[in-house]
Amino acid sequence: MVTTTVIDSAEEKREIISRYRRLLRKAKPILKADDAKRIKRAFTLALEAHKDMRRKSGELFIFHPLTVAEICVEEIGLGTTSIIAALIHDVVEDTDIELSDIERMFGKKIAKIVDGLTKIRGVFEYGTSAQAENFRKMLFTLSEDVRVILIKLADRLHNMRTLDSMPRTKQLKVASETIYLYAPLAHRLGLNAIKTELEDLYLRFTDSEVYRDIANKIDETRASRNKFIKAFVAPLKEEMDKLKVEYEIKSRPKSIFSIYNKMRKQNIPFEEVYDLFAIRIIIDTPLEQEKSYCWQLYSIVTDYYTPNPDRLRDWISTPKANGYESLHTTVMAKNGQWVEVQIRTLRMDEIAEKGYAAHWKYKGNAGTHESNLEKWLVRVRELLEHQDLTALEFVDDFRGNLFNEEVFVFTPKGELKTLPVGATALDFAFEIHTDVGAKCIGAKVNQKLVPINHTLKNGDQIEILTSSKQKPNEDWLRIVVTQKARSKIKDLLREDKRHVADEGKEILQRKLKQLKLEATSQLFEQLRGFFNVNSQFELHYDVGTGKIGLNELKKFKEFKPEGPAKKSGESFGAKLPEKETHIAKGQYDDILLIGEDMDVVEYKLAKCCTPIPGDEVFGFVTVSEGIKIHRTNCSNAPELLSNHNNRVIKAKWTSQHEVAFLTGLKVVGTDRVGLINDVSKIISEELKVNMSSIAFRSDQGIFEGEIMLYVNDTRHLDLLISKLEKVEGVVKVARFDSATIHRQAN
């Protein structure tokens, strides 16, 4: 029996009751008979289970499940089952209450959802992260009940909203997991509002300075933006009133994260981002008249403003795979500014904001669109059937297509197939059938012969050409983009590899006998170490392919030690040349402190983001190159922090010494005689900065230059940038990272 909980503070008790009542008020429209009683029982259980618990912020833990339940109702549109599961989602982990008790009190369905939401504990396969394993388990439950993921997203959203109270390392880990897995998942399930907020919160906690700067600039432009929008919609309203339908015109700026992404990808300042906001016209019309009215509105908008023909997006005729429906056009306003206009109905708007959950409300009315999501869930189930994938491979495959937009293509018989943007003829072949994919040698796209790596476009009609002699190879993994094709190719390659490894095993045993070496476990350990392979399977495979032959085995016999075996990865005999390192031992010992105890240890700077003193950084323990230092806003950071968190360590710059760090600057402007000389003078003479390389290109009066130079820290770099920007003809100066993104988690 559940006992009544006594809360010490009368004020906290009042706040709990107030939040509980607010939850019931918001849930009232969807509650059926007895629902309120069941919710009360779940609330009482949660209150008792978490009575002595507080969050890092100091507030009562019970506020967390209450808020998660509220997000489920208000922001996702879920019902009673989800409210109950959200209220008790941490109970099994935090108390002696077991899943069997949950099943007895609330039924099998809720117990299953809670099981999917309960965090995993225990030892995981080496090299994976608990988070990846946790995510995999959650998706197993998703294949039966999508509400697991929806509640998990509500849980993650509240955790991100309250991340302020967490230590810095925890903030980076949670934020990175969020951008790496949860934001793409929210996107795929059509939860646009939640996806946008998760992305913005990620930026707020990983690069707060950039976040604040963009937020402030959005605020500063609000008054002029509102004035512009009022003038823009005025003539449209007159015409729309004649349609005699209910309509609403909304306008809101693009998210901070999307503006930041645009600035970064196009290397432009805030002022040059032209589509800072979108205007949305929402009409209330019966389902059968939706398409007709939306196109009438499009006609009204384009009568007044000239549209950009390349920017029309019709997601009403062919909705996105996540169910999103809308008509988008970009038009030229009277002041010469491009404006994005989105046209949709009330039903479409609710599905755009609340995604998958909103489909239940319209079930039966929009079956076709719902089936797009169902198809995606079928693909998830297919991927889950591959038990031999490690957790990290699984997560990598799964998230591969989460954010991709779609292309719509046709079979020779006219059947529509939806694939991610960037999909190739080979992806299409595997979409048809595994056997067709495995034997694919090319395709006819719109009657024209193309290779297997041909990228498909909207409206293409594809016929696959096959040959019984064709066999998949490793290069195919670089050609395909769909998770289905990738997993099938990996399966086929594994099967092929197994045959080769089996042959290699027999060959190795024969060769060892020939060399009079006894096949003991110690010998195999020594063989793995000498040939630098991670497993017995790899050893057999290399023998099977001929990479390790009799001559190599003879060399092993010469160098074979008599003592205990060395660890896998260490080599015997001649020492291998050391990998290139940019930091000699001890060179910057007094600059960077690493680990929980802030020790002085050897490290290397990651080439992908080239950190310098003043940057916020973290350390990553690589398999073969020691500790590498990355900037927290490095493009590889989300993956490293979310998937390999057990190999991440604290790092921070300490007292600044006059030590130089290599970084890059991109300079753009209008060409003139003596410009390079002026730029060089400021760098070399005025600021006494050493240059590693300088390259300038000029084309019809526009120049672009890339300078690699040595600076002391971020303040030194900022001073240099501000000086260069004052040079006549220079339009823009920006720091750039290494041109090639290196995958650091090796």
Q: Residue 703 and residue 668: Cα distance in Å, rounded?
A: 6
The pLDDT value given to residue 424:
94
Residue 540 burial by CB count (10 A; 0-12/13-18/19+): exposed, middle or buried? buried
DSSP label of 75? I
Distant-in-sequence, close-in-space partners of 457: CB < 8 Å, separation ≥ 6: 407
Q: Which domain holds residue 601?
A: 592-653
| Mean pLDDT on 726-737 | 82
Note whether 208 and 134 are same-domain residues: yes
| Mean pLDDT on 62-75 | 91
Give the CATH number for residue 426. 3.10.20.30
Answer yes or no: is 100 within a domain. Answer: yes
The pLDDT value given to residue 356:
66
Q: Residue 204 and residue 199: Cα distance in Å, rounded?
A: 9
Note whether 47 and 156 are same-domain residues: yes
Q: What mean pLDDT value characterizes the chain?
A: 79
pLDDT at 2 over 60: no
Answer yes or no: is 378 within a domain. Answer: no
Note whether 421 and 539 are same-domain residues: no
Note whether 544 and 426 are same-domain residues: no
Note whether 17 and 135 are same-domain residues: yes
Give the CATH number for residue 58. 1.10.3210.10
Note whether 42 and 165 are same-domain residues: yes
* Cα-only R_g, the chain: 30
Note whether 208 and 224 are same-domain residues: no
| Range from 131-135, 161-165, 301-305, 545-549 carrying the lowest mean pLDDT | 131-135
Note whether 276 and 365 are same-domain residues: yes
Structural domain ending residue among the three candidates 457, 481, 505 = 481
Per the structure, the count of domains in the chain is 6
Contact in structure between 517 and 559 (CB atoms under 8 Å): no
Which tokens belong to 495? 């099967």
Contact in structure between 200 and 160 (CB atoms under 8 Å): no
Q: Residue 208 and residue 478: Cα distance in Å, rounded?
A: 36
Note whether 141 and 288 are same-domain residues: no
Query: Between residues 283 and 593, which one has the greater pLDDT?
Result: 283
pLDDT at 126 over 50: no
Answer yes or no: is 573 within a domain. Answer: no
584-631 pLDDT, tens per residue?
Answer: 333 334 356 665 554 556 778 888 888 887 788 888 888 777 788 888
The pLDDT value given to residue 53:
85
Answer yes or no: is 583 within a domain. Answer: no
For residue 610, what are the CA distances in angstroms to 206, 617, 628, 695? 17, 10, 11, 19
pLDDT at 318 over 50: yes
The pLDDT value given to residue 384:
62
DSSP label of 727? S
| Range from 174-183, 209-218, 318-327, 683-692 carrying the lowest mean pLDDT | 683-692
The full DSSP string for 170-221 is HHHHHHHHIIIIIHHHHHHTT-HHHHHHHHHHHHHHH-HHHHHHHHHHHHHT
Nearest to residue 251, comparing CAs of 227, 223, 279? 279
Sign, CA dihedral 590-592-596-599, equals negative
DSSP label of 245? -
Answer yes or no: is 745 within a domain. Answer: no
The pLDDT value given to residue 142:
61
pLDDT at 341 over 90: yes
How many C-beta atoms lie closer than 10 Å to residue 137's C-beta?
18
SS3 513: helix
Percent of the chain with pLDDT strictly greater than 90: 17
Of the residues 94, 125, 272, 506, which is catalytic? Answer: 94
Answer yes or no: is 60 within a domain. Answer: yes
Answer yes or no: is 694 within a domain. Answer: yes
pLDDT at 421 over 80: yes
Structural domain ending residue among the three candidates 370, 390, 418 = 370
The pLDDT value given to residue 367:
42
Strand partners, 694: 707
Residue 552 burial by CB count (10 A; 0-12/13-18/19+): exposed, middle or buried? middle
Of the residues 93, 213, 525, 706, which is catalytic? Answer: 93
pLDDT at 342 over 90: yes
Sign, CA dihedral 76-81-87-91, equals negative
Note whether 514 and 452 are same-domain residues: no
Structural domain ending residue among the three candidates 653, 669, 701 = 653
Contact in structure between 347 and 319 (CB atoms under 8 Å): no
Percent of the chain with pLDDT strictly greater than 70: 81
The pLDDT value given to residue 505:
87
The pLDDT value given to residue 440:
93
The pLDDT value given to residue 428:
95
Note whether 176 and 49 are same-domain residues: yes
94 is catalytic: yes
Answer yes or no: is 744 within a domain. Answer: no
Angle of helix 10-27 relative to helix 63-71, nearest 10 degrees?
A: 20
93 is catalytic: yes
538-576 pLDDT, tens per residue?
Answer: 888 888 888 888 788 887 877 765 444 444 334 343 333
Note whether 546 and 684 are same-domain residues: no
| Mean pLDDT on 486-506 | 86
Rounded (5°) CA angle 128-480-539:
50
Predicted model pTM: 0.68
Residue 116: its H or E element: helix 108-117
